[in-house]
Amino acid sequence: MEEKIKMPLVIQGDDGIRPAGNPNECFYCRQKIGQEHKEDCAVVTKEVIMEYSIQIPIRVPYHWDEENMNFHKNGSSWCANNAIREVWDFIKKLKKDGDCLCDAFSASYVETSDPNPRIPENEKSQNALRESGLTNKI
């Protein structure tokens, strides 16, 4: 028999409780405070690895060939953290022109790194509520 997945509880101050909705229930799955969010609720997440691909123009020494460029970014002491600044500088340039990164970006799913349903921001309160024994009795 398959074990039932333990979903995060709806708690006071929960991400799923929206100003436009009932203050005692999740706006998305309609579960009440103290009950588990439903499996298809919008605020319950799992962690996945996505591969991001971004094509941006950067300046390199004039004489570099493809091998030089690939070695510089993949095999040298260059730190990939610098890529974030390069991407950010490109985004700023695009914004100036009223554009965005969407045409230069693609993403693809690699794998699920944490399949457990979670609302990371709520976990401290989640555990306290489960330990209090007040769950599912509302």
113 near 49, Cβ under 8 Å? yes
41: its two tokens:
């609720």
Segment contacting Zn ion (CB under 5 A): 33-41, 85-93, 109-117, 124-132?
Answer: 33-41
Contact between 37 and Zn ion (CB under 5 A)?
A: yes
CB of 111 to Zn ion, least distance (A): 26
- Residue nearer to Zn ion on the CB measure, 30 or 72: 30
Distance (Å, whole) CA 34 – CA 70: 53
CB 108 to Zn ion: min, Å? 28
Q: State the Cα–Cα distance between residues 12 and 17, nearest whole angstrom.
A: 8
Nearest to 128 by CA among 37, 25, 8, 17: 8
Size of interface with Zn ion, in residues (CB under 5 A) = 6
Q: How far is CA 49 from the centre of its chain?
A: 10
At its nearest, how many Å lie between Zn ion and the CB of residue 5? 14
Q: Which of residues 7-26 bind Zn ion (CB under 5 A)?
A: 16, 26
Footprint on this chain of Zn ion (rule: CB under 5 A): 16, 26, 28-29, 37, 41
